[in-house]
Structure 1
Amino acid sequence: MQNPESRFYRSHGLRLHYVDWGNDSAPPLLLIHGGRDHARSWDHLARALRPDFHVIAPDLRGHGDSDWSLGGSYSLPEYVYDLTRLPPLHGQGPITVVGHSMGGMVGLIYAGTFPEQVGRLIVLDGITVLPNAAKAPAHERTLKWIGQLEALEERAPRRYRDLAEAAAQMQAHNPRLSPELALHLASHGTKRNADGRFGWKFDPYQRVMAPHRLWPDDHVALWRRITCPTLLLFAGESFLRNAAAEGITHYFRNARAETIEGAGHWLQHDRPDEVLRLVREFLLG
């Protein structure tokens, strides 16, 4: 199979999209993309792992070809709830979960909430909250949230003349992207608007940090509940703090960390062969 089948399901009143790479008799493998990304961002990894797994890659709510949430409700537990509704996962388990960035955090919460449902877990540069992070007072969090919402109300969506211009913007954001990969990501991550120009598919409100989100002690409690072997892959040149250097594996029962040098936050795009090698060794070695 060169390309996956496109399918839809319903969760929380939303019509959500996922791609299914086939091989239904194989063990299920769930690929969870990060914020402002989409399911087809995983194509290189999905094609390589399809012979050994039944690969499923959802578009999280507010991303890709999934519905946007009315009112911009995008907490991490809501993404987890949507995963529990995914038809290919019903009656399956334990499953393998791979998540990048925000999708890594979603995978960690899923594995911590349903430890018996996850057999192996891989997180790509997805420790976005550190245990020692300070928690701001409730009124400050609420004021920040209100300010973010007001700013988005006044912000005009960015538009592009064509896919090539959108791909060029992606390369400007991540210079390591090849022109071919940037165009692939842009073709699945944008939609044509009524004026003929292209805009990103993700909901801008996905950026907003809700004041009631999970906090470091919540995440740590969930990490400690994860029972499966866990691989934490970090990017040597990420904008995130180096959680590997801060002994993050101490908070897990059975985890090891690897740092991929020469890669930024999107390490699966920057060093695809190295990421695939480490993933294969962990899952099949």
Structure 2
Amino acid sequence: MNDADHTDLVLVPFAGAEPPAPDWFTQAMARTPEQASVASDATDIEYLAWGDKGKPGLLLLHGGGAHAWWWAHIAPFFENTHRVAAMSMAGMGGSGWKQSYSVEQTARDMRAMTEAAGLFEAGKPVIAGHSFGGAPTVTAAADAEGWARLAIVIDSSLDMAHQPTREKFTTQRERRYFDSLEAGLKRFRFMPPQSCENHFIADMIARKSLVEIDGKGWSWCFDPNNYRKTQGVDSRAKAKAAQCPLAIVYGERSLLMEHHYVDKLREDLPSETPFIAIPDSGHHVMVDQPLALVAAMRTLMA
């Protein structure tokens, strides 16, 4: 079977070349972020930051197997009004790898990064997490100190299995290497698999997902055993214990947010909780409908 048979390999048609991009994307990516890290639980946690300190804070958290750069085309839309920081979870992006991970510790990492990036200087920040990042986001929201003003959960039903005992991840996985950057780009796909119309976003994310390792080639910048080594939480219990308002944003055609999942969330969360469905979006809302996501978040944060 060749690459053409894999419709989820969204960058194969470009053979390593950068797809054309609209002006809004080019302008957003020209807003170069600060790049820094903070030590949390003896592990360096990478973060990117935009906007001036002293403005209201906004923390952005990615999903599983991703990294802070998934937000690089979104964050600049908030920098005029907010101090924005996107974090890479431990074991992903430029953050350190560990022998074991936990959702609880990721929530503590979020707090440490929020302080380091200066997101508290204008009061409590807004926190937003996508997919696998939804669990640490509601865990941070449930912190007894009540340090967040609002928690936005993006395309996470909170029914997702965060426990490392899932059958798919019970065995040790070896790191995969590619002979070239172009070879790695050809193998990039979204999880769960989906088509993609905004190839320029997928290309940016894929390029930021590949790192060159001396003598071995190019590889994805995440611990391949991260899921297997992650201790989860009861995400719904955390959501119910939130010390700040929650908001749910999701892709209207997301496989992870089918009607019964959304209905269950509505039953569990306070009646005043906003639910915003982004039209014509799958699970990866910041890829499928980035500007609609910006508009939804701006409205929630107003």
TM-score tier by shorter-chain length is 0.7 to 0.9
Partner of 2:256: 240
Q: Which one scores higher on RCO, CA 8 angstroms, separation ≥ 6?
A: 2
Partner of 1:260: 278
Mapping 1:46-195, distance limit 5 Å: 46-69=75-98, 71=99, 73-86=100-113, 87-88=116-117, 92=121, 93-114=123-144, 116-129=146-159, 144=165, 148-149=169-170, 151-152=171-172, 155-171=173-189, 173-195=193-215
Residue 168 of structure 1 contacts residue 182 of structure 1 at CA under 8 Å; is this kept in 2? no
Distance 1:33 1:188 in 2: 13
Identity among equivalent positions (%) equals 22
Residue 58 of structure 2 contacts residue 119 of structure 2 at CA under 8 Å; is this kept in 1? no
Greater helix share, 1 or 2? 1
Distance 1:178 1:115 in 2: 40
* Equivalent position to 1:8, from 22, 37, 47: 37
> Residue deviations 1:91-138, cap 9 Å, x none?
5531101110111221111001246311122111122317xx9xxxxx
Q: Are 1:27 and 2:56 counterparts?
A: yes
Judged with a 3 Å threshold, the aligned counterparts in structure 2 of structure 1 residues 48 and 79 are, in CA distance, closer, same or farther, namely same
Instruction: Tell me the secondary structure at the aligned position of residue 52 of structure 1.
Output: coil
Partner of 2:292: 274
Judged with a 3 Å threshold, the aligned counterparts in structure 2 of structure 1 residues 162 and 181 are, in CA distance, closer, same or farther, namely farther
Shift of 1:196: 5.7
Q: Are 1:225 and 2:241 counterparts?
A: yes
The count of corresponding residues between Structure 1 and Structure 2 is 265
Using structure 2 for the length normalisation, give the TM-score.
0.78
Partner of 2:22: none
Instruction: Tell me the secondary structure at the aligned position of residue 123 of structure 1.
Output: strand
Q: Which runs of 5+ in 1 are unaligned?
A: 134-140
Shift of 1:64: 0.6
Tell me which amino acid in the other structure corresponds to 2:62.
H
Residue 167 of structure 1 contacts residue 182 of structure 1 at CA under 8 Å; is this kept in 2? no
Judged with a 3 Å threshold, the aligned counterparts in structure 2 of structure 1 residues 177 and 6 are, in CA distance, closer, same or farther, namely farther
Partner of 2:65: 36
Distance 2:167 2:42 in 1: 25
Tell me which amino acid in the other structure corresponds to 1:268.
M
Judged with a 3 Å threshold, the aligned counterparts in structure 2 of structure 1 residues 227 and 190 are, in CA distance, closer, same or farther, namely same
Judged with a 3 Å threshold, the aligned counterparts in structure 2 of structure 1 residues 39 and 229 are, in CA distance, closer, same or farther, namely same
Shift of 1:282: 1.4
Residue 226 of structure 1 contacts residue 252 of structure 1 at CA under 8 Å; is this kept in 2? no
Q: Are 1:201 and 2:221 counterparts?
A: yes
Shift of 1:76: 0.6
Shift of 1:3: 1.0
Residue 83 of structure 2 contacts residue 119 of structure 2 at CA under 8 Å; is this kept in 1? no
Tell me which amino acid in the other structure corresponds to 1:79.
T
Q: Which runs of 5+ in 2 are unaligned?
A: 1-29
Distance 1:283 1:4 in 2: 22
Structure 1 stretch displaced more, 257-266 or 223-232: 223-232
Instruction: Tell me the secondary structure at the aligned position of residue 118 of structure 1.
Output: coil
Using structure 1 for the length normalisation, give the TM-score.
0.83
